[in-house]
Structure 1
Amino acid sequence: MLCGRRHPFCLWLWLLLLLLLPPPPRARGHGDHARSRDEAAEADSGRAWKAFQRLREHLRAAGALSRRYWALFSCRLWPEACGKDEEAPARPLGWSLPLLGQQYLDILTTWYCSFQDCCDSGDCRIINNFTGKNFVARLLAENLFRDGLRSNCVQVFIATLHFPHPKYVDQYKEQLTGQIRKTQERCHQTLFILDEAEKLHPELLEVLGPQLGRQTLENHRAKSPRSIFLFLSNLGGSVINEVVLDLLKGGQSREDIRMENLEPHLQAEIVESTDSGFGHSRLVKENLMDFLIPFLPLEYRHVRLCARDAFLSQELLYTEEALDEIAKMMVYVPKEEQLFSSQGCKSIAQRINYFLP
């Protein structure tokens, strides 16, 4: 690539090359005066050479970090391309400085999005493919706030994205409570969405306890700020499938299944769960959550609808045969009945790639 010196990138490249050049060889002197000058020059040259070596190591480290940040940045803006690059991480926030790095990445992403339409939602900090429970969260946000999920009064936290490292839980607690406080000070009504709630560290769940407890008391005062905490979780999926299957076998239609049919079973499953601290948290023990809302599993006909919507969202033509082929590709449970899809709409939508020309 030809590079002119006036181009900003090329100026940086020339500067970098100059910094990495070895120091010039010392000149030979004559006589005592020349020898003393040579010795001084040699000492200066030695110090300079050590400084160059240190600088070169710093630049190498900075280069590696820059490549790492570019991989993380590109994964946030273009998630569909993430994973094709060997350096792109499988999990977006795997660095050793999660909080500081998160802040820099947010600043960079916001700056980029200020002049480039980089994602459908208009807010690149939210990269979820909203399907199933997440889709309902988006509908709730859109009906509560004019700007929906883009509103400054809506905050989305994803356990594995924002709080990935247990050893930083003290910093996460400060970060989470600070963000909640700032949002509540800014807005009379707020919505906090916590996705993958079953993966939240137990100490983070305990931090949220006083928030929900205070909400319960303040609900009696009409002028108090209102906050809604929405926890999205996959806990209880198996028991929901079991209860729905029993009801269907008993002759009850899917449309007739009510909350009271599922809520007691779901509550018991959450409390008895050993895979997560959610069931043993203050939120559950003190009944600080107003509602537990179960989502029924997808059946074959729903899988076809998910596939159809995936085609339509990309303005692609589809055939009934293609929808059936996609539906047949999915895995269904239980093993004997094979009635419910083991995966959600997001996984189903990805299957349409096999049918594209």
Structure 2
Amino acid sequence: MGQSVLLPCLGLACSLLLLLGGSEGLGSRGENWGPQEEDQGAAAEGGPWGRARYEALKKHFGAVGALSKQYWQLLACKVWQEGCEEEQEEDESSPRPGWSLPLVGQDYLEILSAWYCSFGKCCETGDCRVVNNITGLELDLSGQLHGQHLAKEVVVRAVQGFLQSPRPEKALVLSFHGWSGTGKNFVARMVASHLYRDGLKSECVRMFISLFHFPHHNYVDSYKVQLKKQISETIQLCKQSLFIFDEAEKLHFGLLDAIKPFMARYDNKGQVDYRRSIFLFLSNIGGNTINEVALDFWRAGRAREEISLEFLEQQLRLELLEPADQALDNFLQVEGCLSAR
């Protein structure tokens, strides 16, 4: 094991030494060596080891050491995402030296970073499991999801705004409504595949199907304990977690109560910070209402793109207020219900 660890370290050290090559490297005759008059004066004072030559050499080695330190800081920031803020503050507060990173050294830095990232852990998000490809999500929704203008607009806007928020107050909750086969699962899979490297297979993503994972109402208490544990463990494992609940209208109200605390405003009392989590609820409730609204617009000669989220949400709320669905309505305290019809 010692050799397997030592060899990469030796390779890293050699690569860092290569970074020093450039127009202002150790063997160059640039300004860092000092003017020629100092060399001549040093020779007059006592040969090559005169005082002036010693000071010039000392200054140069100091510059080389500082250059190596800067290369290392850049590498650590680029590969491990560590020390970037400190480095930026230090650069702003301290004066810059009379040299800069040579282009050859920058090329070596890119090569070294790519080499390390081929087997190591380094990502722009700080977590290689998370990719957050909003551009790809928007393109795929536009190109592959047809007849769903509300989902295209609201999903991208909601997810992008949530991810760009430095400190969200609570988790993101979205609900997709419509009949089976209208695209709810398709959109959920698309969100997972563009936010996580492994999509639905990612350890950051958990999908629950009501009748499959929670089939017996007699075991609701046991389900509640298991569900809370799974959500907490997933969030501890992955700060940005995605939870998908299919057939949400069939969830027992006891399970809904178990999920509520994870979607409420963060009170900073618990040990798990769930504000970066995303919850998607897929429900067949509202399918009839959505179809009726679309049919009414078609009869009136109006395009379905004229259906607004506000108008559709009002109609959905009326159906959700029915006794059989009231528990789900009280549970889905979200900014808007998304139609997947």
More contact order relative to length (CA 8 Å, sep ≥ 6): 2
In our comparison, the structure showing a higher alpha carbon Rg is: 2
TM range (shorter): 0.3 to 0.5
Give TM-score scaled by structure 2 length.
0.43
Question: So what's the TM-score if we normalise by structure 1?
Answer: 0.41
